[in-house]
Structure 1
Amino acid sequence: MLIYACISSHGFGHGSRTASVLAELAALRPDWRLVLSTALPDTFLTLAFGSVAYERRPHRWDVGMVQANALEVDPGATVQALARLDRELDARIAEEVAWLQRQGEPLLVLGDVPPPAARIAAALGAPLAWLASFGWDAIYEPFGGALAQRAQACRELYSQGDLLLHCPLSLPMPWGLPEQELGLTCSRPRLDPTLLAAQLGLPAERERCVLISFGGLGLDLDPSLPARWPDHVFLGSDAALAAVPNGRLLPPDVRPLDVMPLVGRLITKAGYSSFCEAFSQGVGIHLVERHGFAEAPVLEQALRDHGSHRLLRRDQLQTGDWELDQPLLPARLGPIRDDGASVAARSLAALAES
């Protein structure tokens, strides 16, 4: 069986989520062949998948939203990028359909969540599953104009699937598909926390350790800001952390998830996979406000409901007023079960074998 996973290149969160599910699937069906079709960088994929064997087809299938920076999107640039993608899609789909036909294996297509995955599956008569907490239809529609037209086209493709693996913390996905509700979909830390703490020179008090993570674009952190909190140690991938006494730059082979058992709090933007990982590891989230992206208010409400937290304005982030001396606010409703990746893997196996 060949699992052909079309993974969004919009950000690392889609790749992290798919990696967690495919790792569980590989454990269930170790003889199955995993093919990742994505423009995500090899360095990220290698780190996300760890020891799980996969092949890669380096194709971009969607644009998502073009980001002006870690917290802002650019609708105009998004429309232009979508037009460029349109000019390439027909040839790219034909190439992949021909390649998959040559493999001569039973096939299941998994989309997280590029709409063209539906065209590939339809051309091959293959079953199609979506792994999603939103589709680009829900993201594009609020912008109106050309992006609202795109939303309708996306929705039509999403409705062609056989199964929606419905992630938590989600936007509406009215695609008319059979659904499997999931809990948190995330991997597990892989490294020995005692050895990692010694390697990074971390204090024993977890509450003094703070992870800063703003996705693939990073934050461009002002190196003077951690100095406002001399009793804390800050970890992350921002190069500025290497230049401050209480900063720790994560080694290239260490994921943010791997250090979460050692930190008490995470400063971040609204992001599905970051939330899943922090929830699963009991890390409090200091959430920086984000505007212009439909997922952000949904995730903010989910954080209020299911995670310990504090909410920060943009100006607080920029001035270092990070409220690390304040108690975390408790979840209103309580935790979400964390078996989403294993449930999704079992559902994919059942669909493929049916």
Structure 2
Amino acid sequence: MLIYVCLSSHGFGHAARQAAMLSHLHRLQPTWRLVVSSMVNPAFLTLVLRGVPLTQRTVRWDVGMLQEDALGSDQPATLHALEQLQVNLPRQLDEEVAWIRAQDDQVAVLGDIPPAAAELASRLQAPLIWMGNFGWDDIYEPLGGAFQCWSQQAREAYRRGSLLLRCPFSLAMNWQLPEVPLSLVTAEPRPLPADFGAALERDPRIKVMVGFGGLGLSLQPDLFRRWPEHLFLIAPSRTSSQHADAALPANVMVLPEQVRPLDVLPGCERHLGKPGFSSFCEAMSQQVGLHVVERQGFAEAEVLMMGLRRHADHHCLSREELEAGAWKLDQPLESASADALASDGAQMAAEALQTSLRSLLKQG
């Protein structure tokens, strides 16, 4: 069996949750071949999927929303990119169909969550399963205008699936499909390199993970210096854009290349960042307080913030507060209004995928 994952190129969060699920799926079905097809940075995929044998295919299946930075979207550029994708998709589909058929194996398509996965599955006459907390139909529809046709096209594609693995903090995804609701979808922290872990343990400062997704966000170094009793941890991919013209403050530490943000969260008290599905799942699973900068113009952000207030101790920040350094790290967290969520969503998804594919293949 070949599992072909059409993975959104929109951001790192889709890749992180699929890595968590595929790790469980590989343990359940070690003989199944796993293929991840996306434009997400291959080095990031290798990092999050370490220990899982797979093939990577470099294909752009969707556009998502092009962004000015981690908190702002570029609608005109997104519309232009959607039109260009429509030009490129027929050739890409031909190439991937030919490659998959050459593998001479049963195939199933998993979409997270490019609408074009529906056409790929149709061409292959393969089962199609969706996994996500939103579809691009839900994102484009509120934008109106030229986005309406893209929203409708996406919704029609999503309805061609056989199952939806619905992640928490989800939008409507009104696709008229059977569903399996999931809890938090997250991997487990890995042990830290000995020297790095020992250095963190010796450091008496309060640890804060800073994460604004793959694009990062330009924050002035002096903002970190306002919090000398805190040690801020940042991913290495962010240093080039965030601090290109200035030395890192003494209270900012770059993670080693082989360390994921998730791996240091057990030693952190707070997480500072934007609304993000995987960031929320990882921080909530480790009981880390979330300081989240509110984001406008992206429908997913609203349901993420609702989930934050219900299920995590938190602070909500405006962009003005972020850029002024008013991060509330010295204040008690606002308490969640409801119980914490379980953290076994990746295992649930892998088991549901296995069960569904066995059933569909028997029917076929």
- 2:57 match: 57
- SS of the residue corresponding to residue 150 of structure 2 reads helix
Alpha-carbon offset, residue 284 of structure 1: 0.4
Aligned to 2:362: none
- The residue that corresponds to 2:273 in the other structure is 268
* Aligned partner (choices 278, 296, 299) of residue 294 of structure 1: 299
Q: What's 1:225 paired with?
A: 223
From 251, 254, 259, give the equivalent of 1:249. 254
Secondary structure (helix, strand or coil) at the match of 1:140 reads helix
Q: CA deviation at 1:345?
A: 0.3
Report the equivalent of 1:173. Answer: 173
RMSD of aligned alpha carbons: 1.4
SS at match of 2:66: coil
Q: What code does the residue aligned with 2:66 have?
A: V
Q: Name the amino acid aligned to 2:151.
A: A
Q: Deviations over 1:16-62 (max 9, x none)?
A: 01111111000101111000111111110011101111101100000
Q: What's the TM-score, normalizing by structure 2?
A: 0.94
User: How far, CA to CA, are the matches of 1:242 and 1:341 in structure 2?
Assistant: 39
Report what 1:156 is aligned to: 156
Shift of 1:219: 1.2
Q: CA deviation at 1:195?
A: 5.2
Give 3-state SS (helix, strand or coil) of 2:67's partner: coil
Shift of 1:252: 1.3
Q: Distance in 1 between matches of 2:214 and 2:257?
A: 13
Measure the CA separation in 2 of the matches of 1:190 and 1:210. Answer: 18
Return the offset for 1:289: 1.2
How does 1:1-354 map onto structure 2 within 5 Å? 1-192=1-192, 196-200=196-200, 203-204=203-204, 208-237=206-235, 238-239=238-239, 240=243, 243-354=248-359
Distance in 2 (CA, whole Å) between partners of 1:293 and 1:332 is 24
TM-score, normalised via structure 1 length: 0.97
- 2: CA distance, partners of 1:94 / 1:200: 50
CA contact (8 A) 1:200 1:248 kept: no
- Greater mean deviation of Cα atoms: 185-194 or 301-310: 185-194
8 Å CA contact 1:193, 1:259 repeated in 2? no
**What percent of counterpart residues are identical?**
49
Shift of 1:199: 3.8
1:145 aligned counterpart, secondary structure: coil
Counterpart code for 2:106? P
CA displacement at 1:221 relative to structure 2: 1.9
For residues 199 and 228 of structure 2, what CA distance do their matches in structure 1 show? Answer: 20
Shift of 1:297: 1.2
Q: Distance in 2 between matches of 1:224 and 1:49?
A: 35
Task: Report the Cα distance in structure 2 between the residues aligned to 1:14 and 1:50, rounded to whole angstroms.
Answer: 16
CA contact (8 A) 2:192 2:259 kept: no
Q: Specify the code of the residue in structure 1 equivalent to 2:211.
A: S
Q: Is the 8 A contact 1:269 1:290 kept in 2?
A: yes
- What SS does the corresponding residue of 1:285 show, helix, strand or coil? strand
Query: Cα–Cα, structure 1 residues 148 and 217, in superposed 2: closer, same or farther, change >3 Å?
Result: same
- Which is further off, 230-239 or 255-264? 230-239
Structure 1 gaps, min length 5: none
Question: Residues of 2 paired with 1:271 and 1:233: CA distance?
Answer: 22
- Answer with 296-305 or 230-239: which moved more: 230-239
Q: For 2:44 and 2:264, locate their aligned partners in 1 and report how far apart those are by CA, in whole Å.
A: 16
Provide the C-alpha distance between the structure 1 equivalents of 2:51 and 2:149, rounded to a whole number of angstroms: 41
SS of equivalent residue, structure 2 residue 335: coil
Q: Which amino acid aligns with 2:317?
A: L
Counterpart of 1:68 in structure 2: which amino acid? E
- Count of residue correspondences: 352
Cα shift at 1:197 = 3.1
Which SS does the other structure have where 1:209 is aligned?
strand
Paired residue type of 2:11 = G
- In 2, are the aligned partners of 1:193 and 1:262 still within 8 Å (CA)? no
